């Protein structure tokens, strides 16, 4: 997160030029994958919830 603040970019848009190197780049990729998976799971659950009138 500190690199994201310094670069003034979303965490998932950080690149090597922003200081994301080696294991940090791996962690950012893993975090992005985890957030995407969580968002997809939430959307699936919300689609099955009936709307109240």
Q: What is the pLDDT of residues 1-53, one digit of tens each?
A: 788 888 898 888 888 888 888 888 888 888 889 999 999 999 999 998 888 86
Please give the model's pTM, rounded to 2 decimal places.
Answer: 0.63
Please count the structural domains in the chain. Answer: 1
Q: Specify if 29 maps to a domain.
A: yes
Q: Specify if 41 maps to a domain.
A: yes
Instruction: Report how far apart, in Å, the C-alpha atoms of 40 and of each of 1, 21, 34, 36, 43 are.
Output: 23, 28, 10, 6, 5
Q: Which two tokens stand for residue 21?
A: 């190197």
Q: Specify if 19 maps to a domain.
A: yes
Q: Specify if 22 maps to a domain.
A: yes
């Amino acid at each position: 997160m500190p690199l994201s603040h310094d670069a003034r970019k979303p965490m998932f848009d950080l690149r090597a030029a922003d200081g994301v190197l080696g294991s940090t780049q791996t962690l950012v990729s893993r975090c992005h994958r985890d957030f995407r998976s969580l968002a997809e799971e939430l959307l699936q659950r919300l689609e099955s919830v009936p709307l109240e009138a």
